[in-house]
Structure 1
Amino acid sequence: MRCCLNPDCPNPHNHDSHQYCQSCNTPLIPLLRGRYRVIKVLSDEGGFGRTYLAEDVDKLNEWCVVKQFAPKFQESSALKKAVELFKEEAKQLQKLGEHDQIPALLAYFEQNNYLFLVQQFIDGQNLSQELQQGITYNESKILQLLLDLLPVLKFIHDRGIIHRDIKPQNIIRRQRDGRLVLIDFGSSKQLTVTVQTQIGTTIGSHGYTPMEQMHNGEAYPASDLFSLGTTCFHLLTGVRPSQLWMEHGYSWVSSWRRHLSNSGSVKVPLSGYLSEVLDNLLQTDIQQRYQSADEVLKDLTNEPSFTSAPATLLTVSSTTQRVNRLLVYAAILLLGLGGVWYLQARVFSSHQPVNKVSQAPSTLKGHASDVNSVAFAPDGVTLASGSDDKTIKLWNLANNQEIRTLKGHSQWIWTVAFSPDGQTLASGSADKTIKLWNVSSGKEIRTLAGNGDGITSVAFSPDGKILASGSLDQKIKLWNVATGKEIHTLSGHSQAVASVAFSPDGQTLASGGWDKKIKLWNLTTEKEIRTFEGHSQLVQAVAFSPDGVSLASGSKDKTIKLWNLVTGEAIRTLTGHTDKVNSIVYLPKSINQKNQTVANLASGSSDNTVKLWNLETGKEIRTLKTGSGYIYAVASSPNGKMIASGGSADNIIKIWQISN
C-alpha cells in the first residue's frame, strides 16, 4: 500500500504498483526521505496536514508515525517563518521524547515544500476508543489517570511547552504495560497559534479548551489542567464536553455534577475530595484554577512539591489551597472500605444494654492522612490502624501512645486485621498486595501477591490458619497463613468485593460487593451456598453475629440489613444514617434489666457519625458525633467497652469508652 502525501487528496490510499495517485494524480513517493514507507492516514489535521502510519525500512519495518505540516501560506515570508518555528519546535519535542510517556522524536525535515516530523508509534488504544468499546471509568480509574498523567504534564511544562489539546483521543493506553502516553504535541498547533492568530485561528478542541485559550489564543500550564479536568469529566460521564459547549458555552462547567447522576457509566457518586479537585481543574477563571501540575500532585500525595514550578504570568489563588488532603481518599470513600473483623463473643454483666458513652472520646494522632481501617488486638489494649499515608500504626490504648509504625506498602492501606492469637497482623493495600507482620517485632513476615487490583478487605479464620481477602478484581482469595500460598480463588461477584468475614465456626465465609449482593461460601467445598439480595446500592461491609445465627450488612443505600442465614431473608432493616454505611461491627452481647441477652451493633457512616443499635428492637441506642469528616472504619474491643473509629477528620482515631 502506498499513500499519497497530498494533504488535500480525497482518497490517498493506492496500490503498491501505482506511480501516481489514482485520485489526485500526484506522484507517489515510495520512501519518504528514502526511509519511511507511508502506509495509511491516521488522522486529518483539517487543511494543515495529516498524520500517517509508516514503516521505517532502516529498522526492519518498525512502525512509526509521520506528521505532515502543510500550511497554505500565500506569502513566502510566512512559510519561511513557519519552517523556522517548526525546527525550533522539533528541538523541543526531541527533549520531550526523553520521557517514557511521550513518543520519542525520530526525525524532522522538509521535503517537497512540506514539513515532516517522525515519531515513535505507540501500540495501544486511545481513551476515546475505550469509551466506544463500553469501558467505564469509576473514581479509582480517574485517580489512576491523574497520578499517571500529571507527572507527564509537569515534565513538559517545566520545559516551557504547553500541549494545548489534551483530550481522550490524545491519550493512549500503551498495550505492553498499561501506562498512559500523551500524544500529539503537533508542531502544527504551535505554528498555527503563532502564524495564524491574525485570522483568529485557535488551537484546541471545543469543550476541552479553556476560555483564555479559546478567546485570546493564550495558553499556560493551567490551560492544560483545564483540559485534563474536562477529559476526566468525559471519561466519568460519557458526556462529550464539546456537546455541552455547543449547547451552553462555558456555563456547563459550573453544573458539571448534575451529569453524574444522569450518566449510565457512573455507578456511584464521587467523593467530596475528587469533586473538589475537579472543581479546581474546571474553573473557567484561570486565576481560580490550579496553576501547575505540582499543585495537583501535592494534593494527591499530600507531600511537598517535587521541584519548584516555573514562574507563570499568573498568581496562584487561595482557592487552589482548598484541597489539602489526598485525592486517594476518593477511592476509599467510593468503596467505603472500613473493614470488618470477627470479634470473639463475650458476655459481660450489666443491668441494661449499652447506652452510656463517654462524652469526650480520646484521640490518637500520628497519621498524615485518612485512617481507613482500625482493628483491636485480642488483648484489648493494642489497636492497629491503616492509612492513606501508606503506613500502619500500632497503638497502646493504656496510655494512648504509638508503639511503632509499619512501612512497606507502596500505596494506601485499605484494611488491617489481627490474627486470633494477636501475634500476626494482616494488611491489604491498593498496591495489590497483602502483607503479614510480626506484631511483637514490627517486622514483615511475608507478602502475599496474586490479585489483579487493590485489596479491599482481609479477615483471619477463627483458628488463624486461613486468611481471606477481597479485591477490586472481583475475586476472593483464601491464603495459607503459615506458608503464604494461595489455597483457592472464589469467583462469583460481578463487581468489586468490598468486604469479607468468617463465621464463628470457620466453616462459612460471607462477602459483600459492589454488585449489591452478599454471598455465602462453604469453605469445605469452596462452593457458593447462597446469594442475598435486597440492598439497592453497593454493599460496603458484612459481619457475622457472634453466635453465627445472623449476618449484618452495611450499604451505600444508607441502611443496615440483618439476614437470616438459613432462609436468606432480611430479618430487619436499620435506618437512620443519612449517608453510606462504610463499616459495621457486632458488639459483645449484654444482659438487660429483664435478664435477657441483648445484641448490639456499631456502624460508621459518611454522615460523620457512629451509631449504636439494639438489634432486638432495631432501634438506635445512641449516635456518636465525630464533628466533621467521613467515618470509614469502626471496631469494638473484645470486651465491648471501647469503640474505635477512623476516618477523614484530621487524620485521627477516636476511642469511645462504653459504660453500663
Structure 2
Amino acid sequence: MICCLNPDCQNPMNPDGNQCCQNCQTPLIPLLRGRYRIVKRLSVEGGFSITYLAEDIDKLNEQCVVKQLAPKVQNQSTLKKAVKLFKEEAQRLQELGEHPQIPNLLAYFEQDGYLYLVQQFIKGNNLLQRMQENGRFREPEIRKLLLDLLPVLKFIHEKGVIHRDIKPQNVIIRENDGKHVLIDFGASKLLTTTVKNKGTSIGSHGYTPVEQMQDGKAYPASDLFSLGASCFFLLTGVSPSKQWMEKGYAWITTWRKHFNGSNGQGIPISMELGEVIDKLLKVDIKERYQSADRVLKDLVPQQVSASVATTLLSSVPRNSNEATVQVQKKLKKRWLVNGGLILLTLGGGVFWFFNPPQIPLIPPGLFVNNSSVFTLVGHASDVNAVNFSPQGDKLASGSDDKTIKVWDVANREIIRTIEGHSGWIWDVAFSPDGKILASSGNDKTIKLWDLSTGKEIRTLKGHLQGVISVAFSKDGTTLASSSVDSTIKLWNVATGEEIRTLKGHSAAVNSVDFSPDGFTLASGSWDKSIKLWNVETGEKIRTFKAHKDKVFSVAFAPDGKTLASASRDKTVKVWNLAAGKVSNTLQGHTDKVNSVAYIPGKTDSQSEEDQILVSGSNDNTIKLWDVKTGKLINTLKKDVGYIYSVATSKDGKKIAGGGSAENIVKIWQL
C-alpha cells in the first residue's frame, strides 16, 4: 500500500502502483525525498501537523516517523508561528537526540510546499495505552517512571529546553528495554528571556501549570508540574483535564480524595510518594520543585556513610559457603525505590545499596569488563557491522557516524579511527591475511584500507545504490559486494577492477558470503530468496526459497556443507546444500533476525554435529543454537537496542555484537 500525503485526504491508503490517490486524485509520492516510503498515517495533531509511519530504504527499511507540517490556517501570523515552532522542534531533536531516551532527528527538509522532519521510531506503547491495557499504575511503576524520566528532564533542562507538554501520551515505554522515552518536542522552547517574559500558551489542559497556561511562561518547574499531573492520572484513572474544566486549579488541593473513602478510585500509595506528588502539583511555582535533581533526592534517600558500611561488612562470614547458606536462609528484600535502593539483612548485618538512576558516562575507548562480557564505547551513532580479524587480535566496527574503528581486543582500546566514507557504513571485512580492511556503505562505494597505516588504498565504484555487504574470498584475491541496486559485483582486490556483475535477484541483496573453498558465493536478498553462484563463471547454480520475508544474512558452515540464513520472518534456517533443502528451522527470536555467523571449530572440517550458530536480532538478543538439533543453547542480551551484526573469532572463543541505541559493541568470552 502507498499512503497519500495530501493532508486533507480522508482516505489516504492506496494500492501499490497507483499514480494518483483514488480518493482525492493527488499525485502519489512512492519515496519521499527519494528514500522514505510512507507506510501509514499515525495521527493528525491539532490541525497543524500529521505524523506518518515510514520505512527508510537507505537503512534497510528501518522504521522511522515522518512528521508533516500542514497547518489549516489562513492567518499569516499564525502560519509563521507554526512554521517557527516546527523548525524549533527539529532543532530541539537535533540537539537532544544524543540522549538514549529521546528520539534522534534523522532529516529536516521541504518538498512540494510542505515541511517535513524525520525522526527515530520508538517501538512500544505510551503510558496511556499501557494503562488502558493493564489498568491503573501501582506505586512501584510510578517510582520506576519517575526514576527513569527525571534524569531525562534534568538533561533537557540543562540544555536550556522546556518540553511544555508532558503527559502520558508523550512518554513511550520502549519495548526492547522497558525504558521511558520522551517524545513530541513540538511545543518545546529554549529557556530564554523571551520565553520567560513573553511566550505562547502551549500545553494540555489539566497537565499544564498556571504560569504556562495564563502567561505563556515556562520553567523547569513547569515540566515537573506536568509530570506530577501525569502520575496522578496513572494512579487514579481520573483525567486532570476533566478536573481542570470542572474546578480550575482548585482540583490540585483535593487530589488525595481520589485515593480515600468510598469514592476513592486510586490504588493506595505511601506517605513518601504522596508528599512528592504534593510538591510536584503546587499551584504556586515558588512552592513547587525547582529541579529534577531535587525530586530525585526526595525519592532516593542518601547512602549510609562508608564507616557504617565498613562496620556492617565485618559481620559477614568469611567462609563463602557459609555466607551463601546464610544468604539463602536469611536474605530479606525491601524495595524502597523499585530497583534503586535495597535493604538487605545478612548474617545479622544491615546493608544499603544505592543504584543511581542516572546513566553512567563511559569515556570513548574504554573497555568495561563485567565478568565475561566486555563493552567497547567510542562510536557516536548506530554500529551496523562488526568483524574479527583472522588472527582474532583486532575487531573492526562500522557505524552511522561515518567512521570505522579498529580495536585491540587484548588491550581493549581503539587502535585507530578510519574516516573517508561520506555516508553510513554498512559492512566491514578483513582480508584473510589481516592486512586489508574492506568497508561499504550508503555512499555507493567500497573502500579498501591498509591496516598498518589506516590509509585508503583505493575506492571501488560501480554500484548504483548503497552497498550493504562485502566479503573476501578465502585466498584474498577477490572481493564480493552486494547492493540495494539488486546486484552483486566481484572485484579484483589487487587492481580494483570489476570482474563481473551477478544479476538475478529482484530486490536489494543484503548479504554475501564465500564458501570455504572459494568456488561458490551465496547471496541473501529482500526478494526472500537465497542464491548460489559459480565464482569462476558468474552463473547461478541454485535458488533457495523458504523464508516468508526478506533475507538479511547468509553464512557458510566451516565444512561448506550447510548454509545458514537469517530473515525478517524472525527465523534462522539451515540449508543442506547437497540436498538443496532446509534441514532445520531455528525459532526463538521475537523480532527480525539481522545477522548470523557460525562459531568456528577446532578444524575447518567440523561436522554438523559439532557446529554452533550465532544469531542477532532486533529483539535485543544474541542466540546460540545447536545446528544439528536446532535447540537453543544460550541467549546473550545486549543492554538496549537492536542487534544489527554478530561476528565470531576464528578461535571460537569470542562473540561480538553491534547495534543501535547505545552505539556500543559488546564482546562475550565463551
Give the TM-score taking structure 2 as reference length. Answer: 0.50
Q: Determine which of 527, 531, 535 is the counterpart of 2:547.
A: 535
The whole-number CA distance in structure 2 between the counterparts of 1:643 and 1:288 is 34
The structural deviation recorded for 1:505 is 1.1
Please state whether the residue corresponding to 2:549 is helix, strand or coil. coil
Q: CA 1:478 to 1:288, structure 2 compared with 1: closer, same or farther past 3 Å?
A: closer
The structural deviation recorded for 1:290 is 3.5
Q: CA 1:511 to 1:220, structure 2 compared with 1: closer, same or farther past 3 Å?
A: same
The whole-number CA distance in structure 2 between the counterparts of 1:441 and 1:621 is 41
Residue 481 of structure 2 is matched in structure 1 by: 469
- The Cα offsets for residues 432-465 of structure 1, whole Å up to 9 and x where unpaired, read as 1111100110001111112111111100111111
Please state whether the residue corresponding to 2:553 is helix, strand or coil. strand
The whole-number CA distance in structure 1 between the counterparts of 2:590 and 2:610 is 26
Q: CA 1:605 to 1:193, structure 2 compared with 1: closer, same or farther past 3 Å?
A: same
Would the aligned equivalents of 1:461 and 1:502 in 2 still touch at CA under 8 Å? yes
Q: Determine which of 190, 193, 200 is the counterpart of 2:75.
A: 193
The whole-number CA distance in structure 2 between the counterparts of 1:515 and 1:134 is 24
The whole-number CA distance in structure 2 between the counterparts of 1:135 and 1:505 is 46
Give the letter for the 1:412 counterpart: W
Are 1:657 and 2:669 counterparts?
yes
The structural deviation recorded for 1:410 is 1.1
The whole-number CA distance in structure 2 between the counterparts of 1:133 and 1:540 is 33
The whole-number CA distance in structure 2 between the counterparts of 1:223 and 1:378 is 50
Residue 596 of structure 2 is matched in structure 1 by: 584
Residue 566 of structure 1 is matched in structure 2 by: 578
The whole-number CA distance in structure 1 between the counterparts of 2:659 and 2:461 is 27
The structural deviation recorded for 1:292 is 9.2
Are 1:440 and 2:452 counterparts?
yes
Would the aligned equivalents of 1:613 and 1:621 in 2 still touch at CA under 8 Å? yes
The whole-number CA distance in structure 1 between the counterparts of 2:459 and 2:38 is 23
The whole-number CA distance in structure 2 between the counterparts of 1:590 and 1:484 is 34
The answer to which of 542-551 and 625-634 deviates more is: 625-634
Residue 516 of structure 1 is matched in structure 2 by: 528
Q: Which runs of 5+ in 2 are unaligned?
A: 1-18, 40-47, 53-68, 94-105, 107-127, 130-164, 171-181, 191-197, 203-217, 225-368
Give the letter for the 1:425 counterpart: L
Write out aligned runs for 1:210-359 (5 A).
219-222=82-85, 289-291=184-186, 313=200
Residue 36 of structure 2 is matched in structure 1 by: 142
Q: Which runs of 5+ in 1 are unaligned?
A: 1-125, 146-163, 169-184, 196-211, 233-253, 256-279, 296-310, 320-356
The structural deviation recorded for 1:221 is 2.6
Q: CA 1:486 to 1:223, structure 2 compared with 1: closer, same or farther past 3 Å?
A: same
The whole-number CA distance in structure 1 between the counterparts of 2:51 and 2:626 is 52
The structural deviation recorded for 1:289 is 3.7
Q: Determine which of 419, 428, 435 is the counterpart of 2:431.
A: 419
Q: Determine which of 452, 459, 471 is the counterpart of 2:471.
A: 459
The structural deviation recorded for 1:533 is 0.5
The whole-number CA distance in structure 2 between the counterparts of 1:363 and 1:139 is 37
Would the aligned equivalents of 1:590 and 1:599 in 2 still touch at CA under 8 Å? no
The structural deviation recorded for 1:291 is 4.0
Residue 627 of structure 1 is matched in structure 2 by: 639
Structure with larger RCO (C-alpha < 8 A, sep 6+): 1
Residue 182 of structure 1 is matched in structure 2 by: none
The whole-number CA distance in structure 1 between the counterparts of 2:628 and 2:447 is 38
Q: CA 1:569 to 1:642, structure 2 compared with 1: closer, same or farther past 3 Å?
A: same
Please state whether the residue corresponding to 2:464 is helix, strand or coil. coil
Residue 16 of structure 2 is matched in structure 1 by: none
Q: Which structure's CA Rg is the greater one?
A: 1
The whole-number CA distance in structure 2 between the counterparts of 1:500 and 1:456 is 9
Q: Determine which of 461, 482, 487 is the counterpart of 2:494.
A: 482
Give the letter for the 1:449 counterpart: K
Residue 71 of structure 1 is matched in structure 2 by: none
Q: CA 1:552 to 1:288, structure 2 compared with 1: closer, same or farther past 3 Å?
A: closer
Give the letter for the 2:82 counterpart: A
Residue 493 of structure 1 is matched in structure 2 by: 505
The whole-number CA distance in structure 2 between the counterparts of 1:443 and 1:619 is 44
The structural deviation recorded for 1:483 is 1.2
Write out aligned runs for 1:10-49 (5 A).
none
Q: CA 1:134 to 1:563, structure 2 compared with 1: closer, same or farther past 3 Å?
A: farther
The structural deviation recorded for 1:294 is 12
Q: CA 1:440 to 1:194, structure 2 compared with 1: closer, same or farther past 3 Å?
A: closer
Please state whether the residue corresponding to 2:75 is helix, strand or coil. helix
- The Cα offsets for residues 597-625 of structure 1, whole Å up to 9 and x where unpaired, read as 51111111111111111111111111112
Are 1:382 and 2:394 counterparts?
yes
- CA-based RMSD: 4.8
Q: CA 1:127 to 1:635, structure 2 compared with 1: closer, same or farther past 3 Å?
A: farther
Q: CA 1:223 to 1:367, structure 2 compared with 1: closer, same or farther past 3 Å?
A: closer
Give the letter for the 2:401 counterpart: D
Give the letter for the 1:221 counterpart: K
Please state whether the residue corresponding to 1:221 is helix, strand or coil. helix
The structural deviation recorded for 1:364 is 1.0
The structural deviation recorded for 1:567 is 2.7
Q: CA 1:442 to 1:226, structure 2 compared with 1: closer, same or farther past 3 Å?
A: closer
- The Cα offsets for residues 394-449 of structure 1, whole Å up to 9 and x where unpaired, read as 00011101100000111111100000111000001111111110011000111111
Give the letter for the 1:193 counterpart: N
The whole-number CA distance in structure 2 between the counterparts of 1:407 and 1:461 is 25
- The Cα offsets for residues 78-121 of structure 1, whole Å up to 9 and x where unpaired, read as xxxxxxxxxxxxxxxxxxxxxxxxxxxxxxxxxxxxxxxxxxxx
Aligned length: 384
Give the letter for the 1:456 counterpart: I
The structural deviation recorded for 1:360 is 3.9
The structural deviation recorded for 1:293 is 12
Give the letter for the 1:426 counterpart: A
Please state whether the residue corresponding to 1:219 is helix, strand or coil. helix
The structural deviation recorded for 1:132 is 7.5
The whole-number CA distance in structure 1 between the counterparts of 2:189 and 2:31 is 24
Residue 156 of structure 2 is matched in structure 1 by: none
Would the aligned equivalents of 1:636 and 1:642 in 2 still touch at CA under 8 Å? yes
The whole-number CA distance in structure 2 between the counterparts of 1:501 and 1:650 is 28
The structural deviation recorded for 1:127 is 9.8
Please state whether the residue corresponding to 1:411 is helix, strand or coil. coil
Q: Determine which of 551, 556, 569 is the counterpart of 2:568.
A: 556
Would the aligned equivalents of 1:166 and 1:224 in 2 still touch at CA under 8 Å? no
Residue 150 of structure 2 is matched in structure 1 by: none
Would the aligned equivalents of 1:409 and 1:431 in 2 still touch at CA under 8 Å? yes
Would the aligned equivalents of 2:480 and 2:489 in 1 still touch at CA under 8 Å? yes
Residue 76 of structure 1 is matched in structure 2 by: none
The whole-number CA distance in structure 2 between the counterparts of 1:518 and 1:503 is 14
The structural deviation recorded for 1:569 is 0.7
The structural deviation recorded for 1:557 is 0.8
Q: Determine which of 601, 605, 620 is the counterpart of 2:617.
A: 605
